[in-house]
Chain A
């Protein structure tokens, strides 16, 4: 079963995504910040991670850097309220396996398509 890990500091959104992904038939795990994500990621071993860009604690860059030291290599879908410049996108891509950027608030279908596309 495809494993999706949902990382978001916003509980409502996190629950919403978790609910939706379960309903879609994916095995999910949640984390409310970068640190928790990094703790759980090796154990859960997700295929895809939806990662919120603005969370308290570690920044996105720090999370991606640390992820590289782990024994996993999930595909990353970044959820963001800000637009990244091409340059920033390039840098992020070099750091990890970022496959998609989705701007909040997103259309549900957009996100599901992105997940399906990258499985």
Chain B
């Protein structure tokens, strides 16, 4: 597009180029010659791999040659001036790529002064980017091979970093036909380049825009050759962009007949002559079809030239719809014309149009209306209605009556046609004959009122619910009352709110079934009142349309009360049935024909029939053949009205078994006729079997049974005497067996309640042994008996009766009672005796005190002197007085022991000290026989908790006896030691001793070893008995030990650990019974007698 660089042209024109060339070439040839001598680089080789050393050398050489160049001869001044002053950079590069000559423009262009770059490799100056390097290498190679390069655009980096756009032309420099380098002319085209870029950018943005606009664009040249199209146009024409560019639009896209017309239009447009801006033009598409387009042509600048630009729009569819609209308009006009409603169109105040109906309704002909003022054209009535409606602006339809007919007046704004640009709008008035509708409406209103009244006053609750949302829309007062909500409340509620949660699922399902119309009545629907109470309702539903919504109209009937009543009936029936069903007795109800109305579970179980079989069963089917006649007779009697309290029958089970029953039957009457016989029976088979078995047994054991001396019986559980033997009859005083068996068992009991208790015990443990019961004899006398009895069980283990024997213990009891009474008497006597002893002892001892006192006073000669003989006699009196006193003392103790009134006061006591005290006291008594009492105690005998005085009494008693039974001048030993857990004391004498056979007897009351001995020594034998009682009470023991040699050893023990309740123990110990047997009450009189004997 560009012409040759001016400099080249000018050079050529000035014919300096050749000169210049040869001159430069000449200078170079010189240089090259010099150089080749020192520089042995092959001609054809271009190498960038030269080492630094070589480079340096070369550079030195170059600079040398440059200096030579500078020193050019003066005749080349013109060239030099030219060379230096041309506007282009001129550069000569040798075949090694080194810059040999360069003019000053290099500084302007790239910022390098010639002296800076001469001798340097031009490729190594950073002029070219790495990207361009391969291209540059190729260019260099081409150039040094002699190729001419024209107007090559290159990007060169300025010394300061920016890019300089240059245009380069090179010519090889030859010497002797061989290329030795090339000469380049470089022109700066940066500005030009920038301009070009701007244009290109603008064009591009146009293209970008045009691509996206919904109209087709064509840019063509003046001859009609297309230079640019956008995408939309390819869509319109069916050609692609490549096909379109270069195409002549008048030849290819135009029908031949249109070509001239269109060319004309374009010419006029381009020639600034009057022209059509927009016209319809048919475009022939690639597929030869035609498309109607709207063409708008304008001028534009494209690539710097003024070109026509066409904006093209496909208007095929638009045309079509325009046609349709036109059709519709006509159609509408027809419709309006023939519309039965009167229509008038007003424009401004003038009537523009009336349709046929208007004319036929209001009279006159069309022309009488058209163009008339509206006020005059129509009646005031219509006019006012119309005006009102316009003013109201709420498009509410006004109604009015004209000539006995009803019309609705409706106004509307008639839409403007698009192409019209009129200011005043058209108003249409539509008068619709609504006479019929009015009538219907009134009828409807009437019926609605009727229904409303019904709805308001209905006893049934009416609730209308939207089927879809299940929300309530209406509720009548009855329903509100039923549920306890107001209608307003209900309107805010839905199905979920008025039914208990647990039944909601069922209710909703019913609701939906009803909504589908599959069912109308939903029964027993639980409803939740506002107060939380649950009521039940039968809901009858119809589906209706309210405000276009499908609704369920539910009629609620409150059945709560009914349900309650029903439930009560059911409950009572159930209870009743339960009673029947669970009764152990067989219960049946039979029709007069013998078929069953009802039987209970026990009946079915026992007879083995199931419910279904009973339907076909007759009463006589279940009567056992044995009793058939009897039963039929009975049944007849019952049905004829006879009352039979007790019936015995035998039923037949399904499998042929036999069941004996006993029961009662009564007949139910209706209108005086028997309708059913109800029977309650008890299975007495077991009883029968038992009875039979017993009878068998009776036979088997009758001999034994009859002759048994024990009264033997068999009774049923219910209390019937089934059998009793002769002894039984005798026991109860009956003469015949029949007499005995007739009487219920309970009646034999003195207290009938006793039998219940008795049976309870027998049933609990299966038997009773010697159960004490009072029975009543026939003559009314009560006898004491012991009954030994056992249950009789049937096969199933059920108790059916009892058997046993009765022993009459009346006599025994009488004897026992007598003994008991005697015992009581004895005890009383005993107490009397004790009291007697107490008092007597006191009475006896008091005079003793006076006697003893006076004797002693006399003996002491307080009352005057006495003789030795008198003194001796008084001594004897005194001794016997003492003996008598001792006896009284002993009797007193015995009395206490017997009556259990002896008191014990246990205290911690040192047994050693106690023994010493006693021995000291008794020594004076022993002295009378010149007997020495020796005490031998183990060291450290423990302290015991004992009644000191009582134990002292024991030791005194033992010592007293020892002294008594010892020979004078003998010794008595008291020994003490600890043995195991006891302290043992021994009183040992060397007297007569105690015979082996009497060792135990000595502890008996009033016992003395030998009458002979007794005579010799005197004294009552009460001491040992008393001692024994005391020791035993302390938890110890007393015994006569074996001794070696002469004499006796009486020992007693006391536990180390004290015994509780000594007094109680003492009471419990039978001190007179050594081995707890052969107890005999000592007789006071006998004691006295015996005592008397001993005295």
Query: Is A116 at the interface (CB under 8 A from chain B)?
Result: no
Complex: A81 Cα to B857 Cα, angstroms = 21
- Please tell me which one of the listed residues B845, B863, B948 contacts residue A105 in the complex, with CB atoms under 8 A apart: B845
Q: Contacts A85-B903, A86-B907; is A20 near B853 (CB within 8 Å)?
A: yes
Could you say which residues of chain B place their CB within 8 Å of the CB of A81?
841-842, 845-846
Q: Contacts A23-B862, A85-B903, A87-B905; is A13 near B846 (CB within 8 Å)?
A: yes
Determine the residue in chain A with the shortest Cβ distance to B903.
Answer: A85
CB neighbors of B among A6-21 (8 A): 10, 12-13, 16-17, 19-20
Query: Is A107 at the interface (CB under 8 A from chain B)?
Result: yes
A102 → chain B, closest Cβ, in Å?
10
B908 → chain A, closest Cβ, in Å?
12
Could you say which residues of chain B place their CB within 8 Å of the CB of A85?
903, 905
B940 → chain A, closest Cβ, in Å?
26
Complex: A107 Cα to B885 Cα, angstroms = 12
Mask for B851-863, Cβ within 8 A of A = 1, else 0? 1111011001011
Could you say which residues of chain A place their CB within 8 Å of the CB of B850?
10, 12-13, 16
Determine the residue in chain B with the shortest Cβ distance to A82.
Answer: B842
Interface contact A108-B846, CB-CB below 8 Å: no
Determine the residue in chain B with the shortest Cβ distance to A89.
Answer: B905
A83 → chain B, closest Cβ, in Å?
7
Interface contact B856-A104, CB-CB below 8 Å: no
Query: Is B848 at the interface (CB under 8 A from chain A)?
Result: yes
Number of residues on chain B facing chain A (CB within 8 A): 24
Interface contact B857-A12, CB-CB below 8 Å: no
Query: Is B1061 at the interface (CB under 8 A from chain A)?
Result: no
Mask for B836-849, Cβ within 8 A of A = 1, else 0? 00000110011111
Mask for B929-948, Cβ within 8 A of A = 1, else 0? 00000000000000000001
Complex: A12 Cα to B848 Cα, angstroms = 11
Complex: A83 Cα to B842 Cα, angstroms = 12
Determine the residue in chain B with the shortest Cβ distance to A24.
Answer: B862
Complex: A20 Cα to B802 Cα, angstroms = 89
Determine the residue in chain A with the shortest Cβ distance to B844.
Answer: A81
Determine the residue in chain B with the shortest Cβ distance to A87.
Answer: B905
Interface contact A106-B849, CB-CB below 8 Å: yes
Could you say which residues of chain A place their CB within 8 Å of the CB of B907?
86
Mask for A78-119, Cβ within 8 A of B = 1, else 0? 010111011100000000000000001111110000000000
Determine the residue in chain B with the shortest Cβ distance to A16.
Answer: B853
Complex: A70 Cα to B949 Cα, angstroms = 34
Determine the residue in chain A with the shortest Cβ distance to B949.
Answer: A83
Could you say which residues of chain B place their CB within 8 Å of the CB of A17?
853
Could you say which residues of chain B place their CB within 8 Å of the CB of A54?
842
CB neighbors of A among B812-858 (8 A): 841-842, 845-854, 856-857
Interface contact A104-B848, CB-CB below 8 Å: yes
Complex: A13 Cα to B849 Cα, angstroms = 7
Determine the residue in chain B with the shortest Cβ distance to A13.
Answer: B850
Count A-B pairs with CB separation below 8 Å: 61
Could you say which residues of chain A place their CB within 8 Å of the CB of B903?
85
Could you say which residues of chain B place their CB within 8 Å of the CB of A79?
849
Complex: A86 Cα to B952 Cα, angstroms = 14
Could you say which residues of chain A place their CB within 8 Å of the CB of B949?
83, 86
Complex: A23 Cα to B862 Cα, angstroms = 7
B920 → chain A, closest Cβ, in Å?
16
Complex: A10 Cα to B848 Cα, angstroms = 12
B1033 → chain A, closest Cβ, in Å?
15
Mask for B964-982, Cβ within 8 A of A = 1, else 0? 0000000000000000000
Complex: A92 Cα to B122 Cα, angstroms = 159
A84 → chain B, closest Cβ, in Å?
10
Could you say which residues of chain A place their CB within 8 Å of the CB of B905?
85-87
- Please tell me which one of the listed residues A10, A16, A82, A83 contacts residue B857 in the complex, with CB atoms under 8 A apart: A16
Interface contact B848-A105, CB-CB below 8 Å: yes
Interface contact A20-B842, CB-CB below 8 Å: no
Interface contact A20-B848, CB-CB below 8 Å: no
Determine the residue in chain B with the shortest Cβ distance to A79.
Answer: B849
CB neighbors of A among B848-880 (8 A): 848-854, 856-857, 860, 862-863
Q: Contacts A20-B862, A81-B846, A87-B905; is A105 near B852 (CB within 8 Å)?
A: yes
Interface contact B842-A13, CB-CB below 8 Å: no
Could you say which residues of chain A place their CB within 8 Å of the CB of B862?
20, 23
Mask for A37-54, Cβ within 8 A of B = 1, else 0? 000000000000000001
Could you say which residues of chain A place their CB within 8 Å of the CB of B854?
16
- Please tell me which one of the listed residues B847, B881, B885 contacts residue A12 in the complex, with CB atoms under 8 A apart: B847
Determine the residue in chain A with the shortest Cβ distance to B843.
Answer: A81
Complex: A86 Cα to B904 Cα, angstroms = 10
Interface contact A108-B857, CB-CB below 8 Å: yes
Complex: A94 Cα to B850 Cα, angstroms = 30
Interface contact A105-B857, CB-CB below 8 Å: no
Complex: A86 Cα to B903 Cα, angstroms = 10
A73 → chain B, closest Cβ, in Å?
27
Interface contact B853-A13, CB-CB below 8 Å: yes
Interface contact A10-B846, CB-CB below 8 Å: yes
Determine the residue in chain B with the shortest Cβ distance to A22.
Answer: B862
A59 → chain B, closest Cβ, in Å?
14
Complex: A105 Cα to B882 Cα, angstroms = 9
Complex: A12 Cα to B853 Cα, angstroms = 10
Interface contact B842-A108, CB-CB below 8 Å: no
Could you say which residues of chain A place their CB within 8 Å of the CB of B848?
104-105
CB neighbors of A among B878-925 (8 A): 881, 885, 903, 905, 907
Complex: A4 Cα to B178 Cα, angstroms = 195
Interface contact A107-B849, CB-CB below 8 Å: no
- Please tell me which one of the listed residues A83, A86, A105 contacts residue B849 in the complex, with CB atoms under 8 A apart: A105
Could you say which residues of chain A place their CB within 8 Å of the CB of B860?
108
B835 → chain A, closest Cβ, in Å?
14
Complex: A20 Cα to B850 Cα, angstroms = 11
Interface contact A108-B845, CB-CB below 8 Å: no
Interface contact A108-B856, CB-CB below 8 Å: yes
Q: Which 7 A-B pairs have the closest CB atoms?
A: A105-B849, A108-B856, A12-B850, A105-B848, A104-B849, A16-B853, A13-B850
Q: Give 19 new A-B contacts, CB below 8 A, not counting A81-B841, A83-B949.
A: A10-B846, A10-B847, A10-B850, A12-B847, A13-B849, A13-B850, A16-B853, A17-B853, A23-B863, A86-B905, A86-B907, A104-B848, A104-B849, A105-B851, A105-B852, A106-B849, A106-B852, A108-B852, A108-B856
Interface residues of A (CB under 8 A from B): 10, 12-13, 16-17, 19-20, 23, 54, 79, 81-83, 85-87, 104-109
Sample of 26 A–B contacts (CB below 8 Å):
A10-B846, A12-B850, A13-B846, A13-B849, A16-B850, A17-B853, A19-B857, A19-B863, A20-B857, A20-B862, A54-B842, A81-B842, A81-B846, A82-B842, A85-B903, A85-B905, A86-B905, A87-B905, A104-B845, A104-B849, A105-B851, A105-B881, A105-B885, A106-B852, A108-B852, A108-B856
